[in-house]
Structures are given as structure tokens and as C-alpha cells.
Structure 1
Amino acid sequence: MTGDTKGRYATGKPTSWLNRTYKHHLFWPMALWMALLLFNLFYSPSFFKVVVREGHLYGSLIDILNFGAPLMLVAIGMTTVIATRGIDLSVGSVVAIAGALACQMISKGSDQNAVSLVIYAVVMALVLSIALGLWNGLLVSITGIQPIIATLILMVAGRGIAQLITDGQIITVSSTPYQYIGAGSLAGLPFSIFLVAIVFAISALLTRRTALGLYIESVGCNPEASRLAGIRAKTVMIIVYMFCGLCAGVAGLILSGNVASADGNNAGLWIELDAILAVVIGGTSLTGGRFYLTGTIVGALMIQTLTTTIYSVGVKPEVTLVVKAVVVMAVCLIQSEPFRKAIISRWKTRRYPAEREVTRHA
């Protein structure tokens, strides 16, 4: 078999490494992220500058990793949910509830710096987050409520729960161990990045090295067929919603630990929308089935880079969301293969009208 025919498929057209790279699910997210980074490099040459102060790394790139950690965590959980043809709109409320409960418990302690108290508060916050995910999973899988409606219930009620925990006040804490979760450093890097790495590694290991990932994709493609094949589709859906709740809980601890306070009304506000965008930009389809955790991480980093770029350029706060929406929409359109094909076809039609006329009459 020659080199030209070795890569042929049913179409008879030879494939190449360039063609495979172009069609890879990470190509467009990475290309667009790199383009955004290059824009920052030309606009502000110091964007890539990283300095070391007192053993800690500082710079715009470090800020992107640090402030993007909560979004990456929520997006990882959202990826598994979307892969089962679901969606979780309540993650922002779970973020607020987890931070509110942990800060409330620590603020009531006699010694806020006690490690045992912080561990207890963190564990209770994560248990509650998993329980909230279980609630969403039961509503979707057992009662058959549409995911967008089932999670919308907790999205609305969750903010009220968070404010009940905090009595409608912003709770501040002075616990050094708790602040380390969101503002601490390890080996010069933000500690939150290591939490993201751990969650990503565990989720990738479970979904790519065990049958769990195949079960998730199978349920997302066809839940009824999966059930007939012996897969417990309801159990799989419950697991992914619980995992999504856990990821949101960890994100809530990072956000509240970073600012040493809990705001039940504003913590994690609209993070669910950024998480969904990160998942879509990463190549995972909202119709369920195949999912890409690595692509989700790239999508989250791109959104956080876009946010940092908007602030560094000096866009007015009142139009920040509009600019962000326009850029994200453009990114999604560029990623869309049907959209690209339509543009290319239209361009060819305008460039070679005579050829098109001959083809039509042939």
C-alpha cells in the first residue's frame, strides 16, 4: 500500500497529518486561545511577564490560572452532565451554598485557625454539595423532569438557601488555613490549580480508563437503548449530577477562601453560563454522547483569558458582558463545521460564478 492510498477512506481522498490536525476537536479551541494570547502580547508586551516575589509567582498568566480555577472545576462537572444529554443550571447556587456554609461554620468557631474546624467545615460543605447534586439527579432520573427545569428549581431556591445560611449578610472569616484553599500557593503556583489538576486527573482516569466513560456516552446517545443493553442509565445520571455538585462545591470553597468571605447573593453568579460555554467551546455537544474533558479545560482558560483581556483593554464595565457575548458567539460560529462549509461555499460561488453555472447545467 503506497503512502497516497494508505490514508484513503470511503471518499477516496487521501488524508494527511494536516487534515487530521485541522479536524481534531482541540484544533479550533487551541487556535482561538492562542490568537487571544497573541493579541494580548501585541497590546501589552508585559502580559507574559512572570515575576517571583517571596517565593510566589505573579503575572497575568498566573492570574488567569488562579481566577479561572473555579470555572474549570465547574466546567469539568458540567461536561459529564452534558454528556448524558442533561444540563445543570444550579451550579452557581451550589457554589454560593458551599462557601456560605463553610464560612458560617468557621466564623462560629472559637478558634478560626484551628485546622480541625476548617476540615470539618470543608467536609460538611462538600457533603451538602453532593447532596444537592443527588437531589438534581433524582429529579432528572427518577421523576423524569427535564434537566433544565429540574436544575432551575435549585438555581432559584439555592440563592435563598445561601442567604438563609448567612442571614442575608456577607460573612467574613480570618482563618489562615481556609484562606489557603483559594489564596494559598504551593511550589510558587496558586494552590487552586493543584485542586483543579487533582479533580481533572481523577475524572479523566475514571472516564477514560474504566467503563464509566462509555456508560456516560451511551446514556447520552440513547438512554433507552443503554437500559436495554444492561446499563443502569438512572444510576449513571445520578452519579454525574452528584459529581457536578461536588465540583461546584470545591469551586465555592476556592472563591470564598480567596476573598475570605461568603456572599450568598453574588458568589458564583452566572458561572453556570460560562461553564456551559466552556464545555461547548471544548467540543462537547449539547445533544449528549462524546465528551472532551481536555477541551473543556481549554475552553475555560479561553473564557478566563477573554475576561482578563477585556479588563486589561479597558472596556467599560457596562458593555463588558456584551463584548464577551459577541466574542464567544464568534468563537462558536468559527468552530461550527456547517457554518465554515457554508462560508467557504459562498466564497467559492462569488469567486468562480462561471464554474458554478457550468456545473449546474452539466
Structure 2
Amino acid sequence: MTTILKHRLFWPSLILVVMLGVNAFTSQQFVTIQDGHLFGTLIDILRGSAPLILVALGMTLVIATGGIDLSVGSVMAISGAVACLLISDLGNQNSIGSVLLIIGVAILVSLALGLWNGALVAIVGIQPIIATLILMVAGRGVAQLITDGQIINVRSDPYSTLASGFFLTMPVAFLIAAGAVALTVLLTRKTALGLLLESVGGSPTASRLAGIGARRITVMVYVVLGGFAGLAGLIASADIKSADSISAGNLIELDAILAVVIGGTALIGGRFSIIGTVLGAIIIQTLRVTVVAVGIPPEANLLFKSVVVVALCLSQSPDFRAKVFGRFKSRPAVEKVGVPA
């Protein structure tokens, strides 16, 4: 039991279970089946968490190498803008082949943006926070140029399936995120890639002296994050059936970093937890739904979220738990040694 309590994911898991319990008690339909699909608050949480899971997943790999990426929101905006612009120009927006091709183009653009960030960090040598800040500011402007400052609406059933479709009773958006998680876990835990990421983040100099291509690995994780952010942008734009270059992915980089931290990955790089990141992303989305479910005023949403996050982070601190919940062990009695007469 003590080992379970000391596990870094125990307290996040407990808080998630509590919030889900609150939603199950307050919502009229927590989980139900309609038209052969699962519906309800739980399904809404899973579907709504998909974009954040994708972004946080890529952010975990970047942070594992000692980096950071503040441009994921802008990449999402660009990806959605490219896709919606091209789809709006189609004569038949319901053409599955054309829509799939456009989705591929949008993801390629996102990969190129990730390559740009990786090159600035690994090759040019710019600090990650500065290099990605450049694209964070400029990328939002690029997205507005693509859409000409307007909201581009699309009416494409194949495209909207990314966000609102179902497959095997589960939301397509969540299945996409789950597939990305499974692939990442497979590559990082069943191959040497995970060890290489941790070595680069733990000690770049030592990894370079050991013959590890730190630059190539650094560029790779930024490219992967760019692709995941682009895919998240497609899901977000498909959800509202339009490209909003101003609000798309706004501040999602902060939630992604928060999800990574909740999952137990250190911001200084090194060891990382994919499952912990997924748990953190679902917690953040569940928190949003819970705030609405318990009737907290919208003005207090951010404050309530901050309080819960602080409590969660403190609960993960072994030192804090030892001071607040720990019991002081009684010192063993000192035997009196008799003094010979």
C-alpha cells in the first residue's frame, strides 16, 4: 500500500477519479448508448481531450530532450487554416479522396514548421524558448494571412468526421489520439529511442561524447511535435467546421506543458512518462467539464483551475507529503550503558 501511495501517478489518478465521480453524480447522462454509439459526459471528455493529448504527447518528447515549444498553438492555427482554405475551394467538399489529400498537405506543412523550430534549436543554436517564440508570434500572423483575416467555413462531412465521427462506438478524435499514444509508447519503450531521448535531455555533452546524434534527435522531436500539433489543429477546426486563425489553439501550449508536468516529466529534461502525460491531459479536460457541472461562475473558472492544479502539484511532491501527511518516526530509546564502579 505504501508503494502505491508513493507512486507519482497515484494522486493525479485519485483526483481524476474524484472529478469523474462528481460528473457522474451531477450529469444526467454520464455514459449511455445512442444509435449504436457511446454518448455522455465521459465521451465528451475523451473527445475534447484529443487535441490536448496530441500536443502534450509531442511536448513530452521535446521536454525530454531539455527543450520547450511555445508555437504549438500557432501551428494548430496554420494547419486548420490550410485545410479549410483548400477544402473551401473544392467543387465537392464531400469527396473523401480530396479531403484526405488536403489533410496530408496540412500535416506536411505542420511537419515543415516543426523542422523550422528544430533547425533553429539544434543547428543554429538558439534557445528553445526564443526559437519557438518566433514561430508563436509569426505563425499566428501567417494563419491570418492564409485566411485573409476571415473565418473560413466548410461543409465537409468527411472532414467533420475527424472531430464528431464515431468508429467502433468510440469518438474518432480520441481513437486518433490513442493511436498516436500507442505508436509513441511502442517507439520509445520498445526500442532504444526512449533511452536516447533521456540521454540527450539528461546530459547533452555526455550523449555527444558517447556518439549519440543529439542534433538529429532534437530536430526529430520538434518535427514530431509539429505533426501532432497540426493533427490537433485539424481536429479543432473540424469540430467547429471552420478555421479561426485568432483563437485556434490559443494558450494550448500552457495546458500541454501543464499536462506534462502533472504526468511527472521534469522540465529540465531526462526521464519522461507518456502515460502520465495522457493522464494529465485528461485531468485538464475533465477539470473544464467539472467546473461547468458544479455550476461555478465562468469568471471564476481560471481561479478554480489554478487552485486544483496547485493542489495537484503539491500532492506529487514527496517533501510536501512528508511534511503534511507524514508521521514522524519515534526515535529509538537510547540504552543507558552502565559505568563500571
- Tell me the distance in 1 between the aligned counterparts of 2:246 and 2:16: 31
Give the aligned partner of residue 82 of structure 1: 63
User: Which deviations, in whole Å up to 9, do the C-alpha atoms of 1:276-332 show, x marking residues without a partner?
Assistant: 111111111111111010011111111110000011122222221121112111111
- Tell me the distance in 2 between the aligned counterparts of 1:134 and 1:339: 40
- The worse-fitting range, judged by mean Cα deviation, of 73-82 and 139-148 is 139-148
Tell me: higher relative CO, structure 1 or 2? Use CA pairs within 8 A at least 6 residues apart: 2
Matches within 5 A, 1:31-46: 31-42=14-25, 44=26, 46=28
- Tell me the distance in 2 between the aligned counterparts of 1:86 and 1:19: 34
Unaligned runs of 5+ in 1: 1-17
Query: What amino acid sits opposite 1:40 in the alignment?
Result: N
TM-score between both structures, scaled by the size of structure 2: 0.93
- State percent identity of aligned pairs: 54
Give the aligned partner of residue 190 of structure 1: 171
Counting matched residue pairs gives 333
- The worse-fitting range, judged by mean Cα deviation, of 247-256 and 313-322 is 313-322
- Tell me the distance in 1 between the aligned counterparts of 2:2 and 2:314: 20
Matches within 5 A, 1:262-341: 262-341=243-322
Matches within 5 A, 1:133-152: 133-152=114-133
Give the aligned partner of residue 120 of structure 1: 101
Q: CA deviation at 1:25?
A: 2.7
8 A Cα contact 2:27 2:41, kept in partner: no
8 A Cα contact 2:9 2:264, kept in partner: yes
- Tell me the distance in 2 between the aligned counterparts of 1:140 and 1:252: 23
Runs of 4 or more above 6 Å deviation: none
- Tell me the distance in 1 between the aligned counterparts of 2:175 and 2:20: 23
Helix, strand or coil at the partner of 1:86: coil
- Paired residue for 2:90, among 90, 109, 112? 109
User: Which deviations, in whole Å up to 9, do the C-alpha atoms of 1:12-46 show, x marking residues without a partner?
Assistant: xxxxxx2322222321221121122233344x164
- Tell me the distance in 1 between the aligned counterparts of 2:302 and 2:151: 25
Helix, strand or coil at the partner of 1:52: strand
In the alignment, structure 1 residue 258 sits paired with structure 2 residue 245? no
When the two chains are superposed, the root-mean-square deviation of aligned CA atoms in Å is 1.8
User: Which deviations, in whole Å up to 9, do the C-alpha atoms of 1:181-240 show, x marking residues without a partner?
Assistant: 111111121101110111111111110111111100000100010000000101111000
Give the aligned partner of residue 29 of structure 1: 12
- Tell me the distance in 2 between the aligned counterparts of 1:126 and 1:174: 20
TM-score between both structures, scaled by the size of structure 1: 0.88
